Structure 1
Amino acid sequence: MFPKNAWYVACTPDEIDDKPLGRRICGEPIVFYRGEAGRVAAVEDWCPHRGAPLSLGRVVEGRLVCGYHGLEMGCDGKTVAMPGQRVRGFPPVRSYPVVERHGFVWVWPGDAELADPAGIHQPFWADNPAWAYGGGLYHIRCDYRLMIDNLMDLTHETYVHSTSIGQKEIDETPCNTRSEGDTVITSRFMNGIIPPPFWQAALRANGLPDDQPVDRWQICRFTPPSHVMIEVGVALAGKGGYDAPAEFKASSIVVDYITPESETSIWYFWGMARNFRPDDAELTATIREGQGRIFAEDLEMLERQQANLLQWPERGLLKLNIDAGGVQARRVIDRHIAAERAGSPATALA
């Protein structure tokens, strides 16, 4: 169950620079490629001739050429030509609204008439020279809502990420949950603690001592259909915590764009945006490598969790106070799915 009248991250621009990319989004098989003038295009991954995946073809002068018999497809899903054949009467395949923006390719898998590019998620750090971003992509075999649960409750860091960002103070500090419209926010503030290894490295990278007590924060924001942005950071203790001047802290935004592939698999676009030493490419690469290892630790847990849920579908799950963020996020999702199925006009999501 996922909303389809919404903008999802489909891929990164470099994934379609050299050849077409086939990717299933919300159950829809779609091929992404660069059409005329290098503009991104997205059509159903189906050749109307023999049903071959168009993603196995190539792009020639802005046209998508099927790799089976050479049928040429336009960006609008209409057949353009085929060697030695008359194909103008072929039925078109579906085309999808698609936009390249903020370093990602976004697709709208639902009703094309509702797709407004103005609704694409606007990260304030994107296209800002004061910020640097590095990230990656994981394919994970789990329900997208399990990943949202995971990100909206960071208590698991103490156990899953014990050697990098986890510490006992996360367990010991209450988490606050609130909603602002469709946005669900969970927050935790830990004062006067010793920073874990990941944040020790971040402090050093920002020219700060790594052996002094710090104030640490985690602020998770869910917005539909499935985006989670997490403000994280540490500041030298007593300097103002979250509001401390930049010279006393190391902070960043953990970027999580979760795109359903199917009911039990996702494309997980992860990354970190920071506003210190933005021109340091080596630091960006180092942070990306470390963050990639951290998220890889989540991967096995989520896939094994999904396998258990499929094995024992009749078993209910306990809900504790630490689960409030995920529970409220699911309510937002369910509300939009219900409105979409009912044909409500207010079903388009950013």
Structure 2
Amino acid sequence: MFPKNAWYVACTPDEVDEKPLGRTICNEKIVFYRGDTGKVAALEDFCPHRGAQLSLGAVCEGKLVCGYHGLVMGCDGKTVSMPGQRVQGFPKIRAYPAVEKYGFVWVWPGDAALADEAKIHHLEWAESPDWAYGGGMYHIACDYRLMVDNLMDLTHETYVHTTSIGQKEIDETPVATKTEGEHVITSRFMNNVMPPPFWKANLRGNHLPDDQPVDRWQVCHFHPPSHILIEVGVALEGKGGYHADAKDKVYSIVVDFLTPETETSMWYFWGMARNFNVRDKALTAQIREGQARVFAEDMAVLEAQQRNLLRYPERKLLMLNIDAGGVQSRRIIDRLVAQEQPQPQPQKLAA
């Protein structure tokens, strides 16, 4: 249900500053830590001696030390030493490709021979001083594909986020869906509407009036395995909408990295990048707090949805026009998963 030959966000760099971090990703129990060069390493969270969790140990001079009997592990999965023991014959444990890039630690839980850092799609906002970013992480008890559905169809905002980003015009404006290779795009453009509370605050944050009609947009981009970047914003009405000059709008990218933990749980790395008033740290904190509340509302809905689906596994779900983005994204996920399955071997005919 999740492709493994792909890069997933595993954690943020600060989570592996001093201590090892244990995290399950795609049903793989992995320990992350920094080796002697400061580079992040990712190993199977399993001590070859007695099967203890290496993540419960410590990092000493760039080596991972098991907290049970002091076995010392190298970044390549080979045992370096152990008190009173010869370790040359110890079995090697699995090492996973890991990369620190764009402000996140990424891991490849599949075939290490296929891992290519270039497959991490470029994130311009993470490298440019013209952008500010603030975000966080939630652990959510649901199938990560439910979150894909949620983010590729923002119709729910009218009902789930009534006090922040929801408004009736979302329901009233049709959504367009298209697929370009493995990239799914859904878009909705709402003209001459009043900004909801979240966007009023952002307009004020860019020194724009918050009591005038605006043109609002939502453009959702799905990239496999489960990364969704959403272009959002509002411009003063009649100034060009999505294409308006920067002085007349507030434009942001909602960042959603969905990392499966198990079949019914996930790690959700969320945030917002913006290209206006980027040096205002108070504004960054304010937006982050607002987003945290919005995504907490999503979490409550999705966890309840997951419990209901497990309670009624035989029930068929409806597929409507508004579901097209999620449906197309799931088809890509299903295709990638199918490609990783062992292919049946042709049977030899008896002589």
- TM-score bin, normalised by smaller chain: over 0.9
**Structure 2 residue aligned with 1:230:** 230
Between the aligned partners of 1:338 and 1:50, the Cα distance in structure 2 is 35
**Structure 2 residue aligned with 1:253:** 253
Between the aligned partners of 1:99 and 1:4, the Cα distance in structure 2 is 16
Q: Which secondary structure state, in structure 1, belongs to the residue aligned with residue 126 of structure 2?
A: coil
C-alpha displacement at 1:121, in angstroms? 2.3
Task: Report whether the alignment pairs 1:121 with 2:148.
Answer: no
| Amino acid in the other structure paired with 2:10 | A
**Structure 2 residue aligned with 1:262:** 262
C-alpha displacement at 1:251, in angstroms? 1.1
**Structure 2 residue aligned with 1:321:** 321
What per-residue deviation string (whole Å, max 9, x for no partner) do you get for residues 201-232 of structure 1?
A: 00000000000000000000001000000000
TM-score by length of 2: 0.97
TM-score by length of 1: 0.97
Q: Which secondary structure state, in structure 1, belongs to the residue aligned with residue 315 of structure 2?
A: coil
**Structure 2 residue aligned with 1:173:** 173
**Structure 2 residue aligned with 1:161:** 161
| Amino acid in the other structure paired with 1:298 | D
Task: Report whether the alignment pairs 1:280 with 2:280.
Answer: yes
What per-residue deviation string (whole Å, max 9, x for no partner) do you get for residues 3-60 of structure 1?
A: 0000000000000002000000000000000002111000000011111100001111
Between the aligned partners of 1:121 and 1:85, the Cα distance in structure 2 is 45
How many residue pairs were aligned? Answer: 344
| Amino acid in the other structure paired with 1:257 | F
**Structure 1 residue aligned with 2:331:** 331
* Mapping for residues 69-80 of structure 1, pairs under 5 Å: 69-80=69-80
What per-residue deviation string (whole Å, max 9, x for no partner) do you get for residues 107-153 of structure 1?
A: 00000000011111211211100001110000001001000000000
| Amino acid in the other structure paired with 1:30 | I
**Structure 2 residue aligned with 1:61:** 61
Between the aligned partners of 1:343 and 1:286, the Cα distance in structure 2 is 51
| Amino acid in the other structure paired with 2:288 | R
| Amino acid in the other structure paired with 1:138 | Y
Task: Report whether the alignment pairs 1:297 with 2:297.
Answer: yes
**Structure 2 residue aligned with 1:186:** 186
C-alpha displacement at 1:342, in angstroms? 4.6
**Structure 2 residue aligned with 1:209:** 209
Which runs of structure 1 show a deviation greater than 2 angstroms over 4 or more consecutive aligned residues?
A: none
Q: Which secondary structure state, in structure 1, belongs to the residue aligned with residue 95 of structure 2?
A: coil
C-alpha displacement at 1:278, in angstroms? 1.2
**Structure 2 residue aligned with 1:96:** 96
**Structure 2 residue aligned with 1:82:** 82
| Amino acid in the other structure paired with 1:53 | Q
Tell me whether 80-89 or 217-226 shows the greater mean CA deviation.
Answer: 80-89
**Structure 1 residue aligned with 2:151:** 151
Q: Which secondary structure state, in structure 2, belongs to the residue aligned with residue 234 of structure 1?
A: strand
Task: Report whether the alignment pairs 1:306 with 2:306.
Answer: yes
C-alpha displacement at 1:343, in angstroms? 6.1
What per-residue deviation string (whole Å, max 9, x for no partner) do you get for residues 284-324 of structure 1?
A: 11111110110000001000100011111000100110000
Between the aligned partners of 2:160 and 2:51, the Cα distance in structure 1 is 44
| Amino acid in the other structure paired with 2:61 | E
Between the aligned partners of 1:265 and 1:122, the Cα distance in structure 2 is 27
Which residues of structure 1 form unaligned runs of 5+?
345-350
Between the aligned partners of 2:50 and 2:170, the Cα distance in structure 1 is 56
Identity %: 74
What per-residue deviation string (whole Å, max 9, x for no partner) do you get for residues 46-77 of structure 1?
A: 01111110000111111000011110000000
**Structure 2 residue aligned with 1:130:** 130
| Amino acid in the other structure paired with 2:270 | W
| Amino acid in the other structure paired with 2:335 | R
